[in-house]
Chain A
Amino acid sequence: GAVVSQHPSWVICKSGTSVKIECRSLDFQATTMFWYRQFPKQSLMLMATSNEGSKATYEQGVEKDKFLINHASLTLSTLTVTSAHPEDSSFYICSAFASGTSGGQYFGAGTRLSVL
């Protein structure tokens, strides 16, 4: 099956710093990737849709200047949390839509972000 790799799996940073999370499709090309955020004991909430070669589409309430998304190639999307604050601590998960499949998405293993 399709594999999505996410890195790092866990990151701790100081308040005010920026953190970059990478999402790679290893054996397929993904023109569209998605970024979700999951707080403890809650469901996944879509943050933004990452489109290769164009601007990301952000969900209502998600600050585009704070959560920078770059999808520069068909196999890589990055999410940068800028000026991170403790309330940004969460589990960030990416997924990729594989063309030719039934419509399901393949998820990365997630990144646990802890902002001190």
Chain B
Amino acid sequence: GESVGLHLPTLSVQEGDNSIINCAYSNSASDYFIWYKQESGKGPQFIIDIRSNMDKRQGQRVTVLLNKTVKHLSLQIAATQPGDSAVYFCAENTGRRALTFGSGTRLQVQP
């Protein structure tokens, strides 16, 4: 079936560096994508979203890029901090408002 997947299960970066987390999706009809951050034992926390009529959206220290041609989504975190360490999920809105989540990438920030 349709799915949203991730390229890298674990990403380790040095504090202060920029992080890039990637996600591939397969449902070409998807028109809304969201990145969530999940810390251990907690629910997902909304980071940033983007609609399919955009290819880039910026937030505070975060940028989401969408490439519909290759069905690829990325999350860029600038000046990564120890508090950014968590598992990051991309999610796709399927149109019926339920979300399909990718497999997740663990971000480890080394001090």
Contact = CB atoms under 8 A, between A and B. Distances in A.
A108 B43 contact: yes
A54 interface: no
A34 B43 contact: no
Contacts of B51: 102
Contact of B46 (A6, A106, A110): A106
Interface residues of A, number: 25
B41 interface: yes
Contacts of A34: 97-99
Contacts, number: 57
Interface stretch (B12-20, B65-73, B74-82, B100-108): B100-108
B49 A46 contact: no
A44 B89 contact: yes
6 contacts: A42-B103, A43-B102, A103-B49, A107-B44, A109-B42, A112-B41
